[in-house]
Amino acid sequence: MGLSIGGLGSGLDIGNMTEQLVAAERTPKLTRIQQSMSKVDNHLSAYGLIKSSASNFQEKLTEFKADDVFLGKSSTSSDSEFVSVSSTSDAQAGQYSIEVKQLAQKHKVASQFALDADPNASLGQGSLTLSLGNQSMTLNLDDKNSDLKSLVQSINQAEDNPGISATIITDEVGAKLVFSSQQSGKDQQIAIDASQATGDVQQLHFDPNISNSNMAEMQAAQDAQIVIDGYAIVNSKTNEFKDAIDGMTLDVKQLTDTEDTTSVTINIDNNHSQVKKSVSSFVNLYNSLVNMVESQSSFDAEADKAAPLVGDSASRSLISQLRNVLNESVTIESGKNRPLSDFGLGTDREGKLEIDQEQLTQQLDDDFMAASDFFTQGESGLVSRVTQGLDDFVGKQGVITNKETRLESQKSDFKEEIETLEQRMSVFEDRTYKQLSAMDAALSKMSQELNAMMSMFGFEGNG
């Protein structure tokens, strides 16, 4: 209702009376809706905290399976300055002797004669074909690109360059042109066909299989070579040997031809520390979820205060279902049924998980693969079953997710209810003001008529 002045006739404060009547009508209704919305917001917030905790748990479980943490291997080298090693879950525990016979090299050739570095001097014209392995490119040289610097730029910037870099080095004799393979390996040999060129360019002709007095091989194209356990000879284009031994990557750095180092010993062991760390993470995330559910669904008797989800069945059922999963045995690859307690895990009086480190260590020492099977064996492993249990409640169609959807719908309904109430109050305010204004006018008229009558009978009026 807009600004208005009432009660001029009778002296009544029409505006104030209207506001009080509207407030008396609006306040109890609005308070009821707002209290209901606040309750919904508190439930949504509590469910959000539980889902966040559960999602953190699920993410870690996904990492457990993706990273094969329960199949992990630890790999060590007796001298990583010669050979370093990394391994995946495919590696088998064992010990291996590695001899490094050759390191991989990139082919490099250079002109043995000095070239004119004057930017105005042409080194020759015609075609120059550079090959690397089974790939090649051809440059057509003319007055615009036949000086030394332009020739180098043309080689390095060519779109069809097979992987050859050209550079200029200058010694006491003069400028020399160096050609380098960008990739190592014996099949990455450089060949230069300058038979269709003239001038000094023609002298750049190089066949790796024929001796050439004009060109020098600065470094041969070469594979890296290792010998495994004094028996297996393995070559690699680079200094990295991937899966020469299944599940391992070896990076060779020096030849093992010194008095102190004739070979390097590689040890592969089951990664007990990684498994223990993962089990500890599993326990902490489970207990964190239990604590979160309890904090959102408990009653504090001392403070006489209830958490938002007191009496809520969904959050309690989530923990109940997970406990049932933990209490079920898992049939591992060997066919044996193994309970959680075999791996040093159990629950305390509060229903939280705890670890017996001594029991876990003993199990990993006795049968490492049993622990891997128990936790990550397909859909029957503990990780998959806990993941499914969580998904039943916090997944896209989960119990708690569906409750959130219904609560959001309720919240939307409450917002519409408030809008409707405000519209009704606006109409009520207008109507009330008009009614009070009419009453004020009637009272004013009655007062005037009464004064007129009293004046007729000789009485003085009040106004």
Cα–Cα–Cα angle for 247, 232, 73, nearest 5°? 20
H or E stretch at 283? helix 272-297
Yes or no: say if 95 and 265 are a contact pair by the CB < 8 Å rule: yes
Long-range residue pairs from 94-97, CB within 8 A, at least 24 positions apart, any chain: 94/267, 94/268, 95/265, 95/266, 95/267, 95/268, 96/228, 96/229, 96/245, 96/265, 96/266, 96/268, 97/228, 97/229, 97/230, 97/263, 97/264, 97/265, 97/266
Residue 306 in tokens: 């209830």
Instruction: Please report, for residues 318, 370, 458, the alpha-carbon distance to residue 60 in angstroms, rounded to integers and kept in the order given.
Output: 18, 21, 100
Q: How far apart are CA 320 and CA 389, in angstroms?
A: 10
Yes or no: say if 64 and 374 are a contact pair by the CB < 8 Å rule: no
H or E stretch at 306? strand 305-306
Residue 134 in tokens: 């089974």
Q: Which of 291-300, 373-382, 386-395, 410-419 is modeled with the greatest confidence?
A: 386-395
| Dihedral sign from CA coordinates of 439, 440, 443, 444 | negative
**DSSP secondary structure letters along 385-452:** HHHHHHHHHHSTT-HHHHHHHHHHHHHHHHHHHHHHHHHHHHHHHHHHHHHHHHHHHHHHHHHHHHHH
Give the residue, 84 or 447, on which the prediction is more confident. 84
Strand partners, 306: 299
Residues 6+ apart with CB under 8 A from 63: 69
Mean pLDDT of 245-268: 94
Mean pLDDT of 402-417: 87
Mean pLDDT of 16-31: 86
**Percentage of the chain modeled with pLDDT above 90:** 49
Amino acid 220: pLDDT: 95
Q: How far apart are CA 311 and CA 315, in angstroms?
A: 9
Indicate the pLDDT class of residue 18, thresholds 50, 70 and 90.
Answer: confident
Amino acid 67: pLDDT: 61
Mean pLDDT of 386-401: 90
Instruction: Please report, for residues 19, 20, 421, the alpha-carbon distance to residue 427 in angstroms, rounded to integers and kept in the order given.
Output: 13, 15, 10
Mean pLDDT of 291-296: 90
Q: Alpha helix locations (H) across 158-271?
A: none
Amino acid 9: pLDDT: 53
> What value does the mean pLDDT of the chain take?
88
Which tens digits make up the pLDDT trace of 108-148? 999 999 999 999 999 999 999 999 999 999 999 998 899 99
Q: How many CB atoms lie within 10 A of CB 321?
A: 17
Q: Report helix, strand or coil for 111.
A: strand
Indicate the pLDDT class of residue 308, thresholds 50, 70 and 90.
Answer: confident
The yes-or-no verdict on residue 3 having pLDDT over 60 is: no
Q: What is the pTM of this model?
A: 0.67
Amino acid 250: pLDDT: 97
Yes or no: say if 175 and 152 are a contact pair by the CB < 8 Å rule: no
Amino acid 459: pLDDT: 62
Indicate the pLDDT class of residue 8, thresholds 50, 70 and 90.
Answer: very low
